[in-house]
Amino acid sequence: MCWTHRSRAPTLDPVKNLGTSPLPARLTGTAMTAFAPMVWGTTYVVTTELLPPGHPLFAGLVRALPAGLVALAVTRTLPRGAWWLKAAALGLLNIGVFLPLLFVAAERLPGGVAATLAAAQPLVVALLAVAVLRQTPSAWSLAWGVAGAVGVGLVVLGPDAGFDVVGILAGLGGAAAMALGVTLTKRWGRPDGVGPTAFAGWQLAAGGLFLVPVTFLFEGAPPATDAGAVLGYLWLGLPGGLIAYILWFRGITTLPVTSVAVLTLLSPMVAALLGAVLLDQVLGPLQLLGFALALAAILASQVTPKSIKERIITR
């Protein structure tokens, strides 16, 4: 097998800036990117109902490393030059740090509290876009980011919400790590000739390799698993790992970064819907109002006041 810089396997289309593309093309790109946070919204119910408790690092490792190795085997594409360090940094932020903190928060906090902390990510990205990407501060993005976080809070927070300090720090740390990873992914883009499958594979493999010694140092031997746990790990690793990250990183490189970041609000909304359908949790009027507010934030963040004005003028 020959491992080269250019992929010999078919991949998705090369990097295109969909931020200025016709509306149908951008809607298609947004819908494909939205698949990732929607699948990630199943993490809470899968973690609490199927996976063995007390092994968040192992869950992150199983989700990342096999998927990354599969992507590398399919594309036969490795980084070159400075991209070895860039891929390692992005893999550490987006995978190696984010995933275990996500599972720690999911284990130690009620799903609603963990989801609300994760909903802070669009706000962090909006601020990092100014500091890292040198974008002009956007009151529009910040306002809808706040609205989205409030909406998620209305959906998932209840009077019995618990506040474990370790869980809260893990939730905030995970949101900050992925926000920085998303912003740097946007800043660096993808190398020419490298498709999203290989790009996702680099990061999944790098993050997974980082988690190998950390997992065995802090958690020891892998936990005993039953059939339900195996299904849970397969779900998190394939749809929730390989497929989701391919689409997610493709979206980051082709869509405006703040528009992509706000799509993460779909995760807690999916988690709340699954709780209502599978766990008999009730969604009252306040939760429905939160859904409407979060959806409005997601939709509004896909446009800008300038683009709205231009479309009105051209009609």
Q: At what angle do helices 227-237 and 56-75 cross, to 10 degrees?
A: 50
Contact in structure between 143 and 300 (CB atoms under 8 Å): no
Q: Does 25 fall in a domain?
A: yes
Lowest mean pLDDT among 11-20, 115-124, 228-237, 268-277: 11-20
Within 13 A of 156's CA, how many CA atoms are on the CB side? 32
Identity at 277, one-letter amino acid code = V
**Band of the pLDDT at 14, cuts 50, 70, 90?**
very low
**Band of the pLDDT at 134, cuts 50, 70, 90?**
confident
What distance in Å separates the CA atoms of residue 182 and residue 285, rounded to the nearest whole number? Answer: 34
Q: What is the mean pLDDT of residues 26-34?
A: 89
What distance in Å separates the CA atoms of residue 21 and residue 27, rounded to the nearest whole number? Answer: 10
Q: Does 217 fall in a domain?
A: yes
**Band of the pLDDT at 297, cuts 50, 70, 90?**
very high
Domain count, the chain: 1
- Of 2, 47, 10, 1, nearest in space to 198 by CA: 10
Q: Does 11 fall in a domain?
A: no
- Of 37, 19, 32, 33, nearest in space to 175 by CA: 37
What are the structure tokens assigned to 54, written together?
A: 């007390």
Identity at 237, one-letter amino acid code = G
What pLDDT shows up at residue 17?
A: 56
What pLDDT shows up at residue 293?
A: 94
What pLDDT shows up at residue 258?
A: 86
Mean of all residue pLDDT scores within the chain: 84
Q: Does 8 fall in a domain?
A: no
Q: Does 16 fall in a domain?
A: no
Q: Does 4 fall in a domain?
A: no
Provide the domain limits for residue 81: 21-314
Model pLDDT for residues 42-71, shown as the tens digit of each residue? 887 898 899 998 898 898 899 999 999 999
**Band of the pLDDT at 158, cuts 50, 70, 90?**
low
What pLDDT shows up at residue 13?
A: 44
Q: Does 272 fall in a domain?
A: yes
Q: What is the mean pLDDT of residues 295-310?
A: 79
Lowest mean pLDDT among 16-25, 118-127, 200-209, 250-259: 16-25
Contact in structure between 225 and 52 (CB atoms under 8 Å): yes
What distance in Å separates the CA atoms of residue 182 and residue 160, rounded to the nearest whole number? Answer: 33
pTM for the model stands at 0.83
Model pLDDT for residues 226-257, shown as the tens digit of each residue? 999 999 999 999 999 999 999 999 999 888 88
Model pLDDT for residues 161-188, shown as the tens digit of each residue? 556 788 888 888 988 999 999 999 999 9
Neighbours of 43 (CB within 10 A): 28
Neighbours of 235 (CB within 10 A): 17
Q: Does 166 fall in a domain?
A: yes
Identity at 209, one-letter amino acid code = L
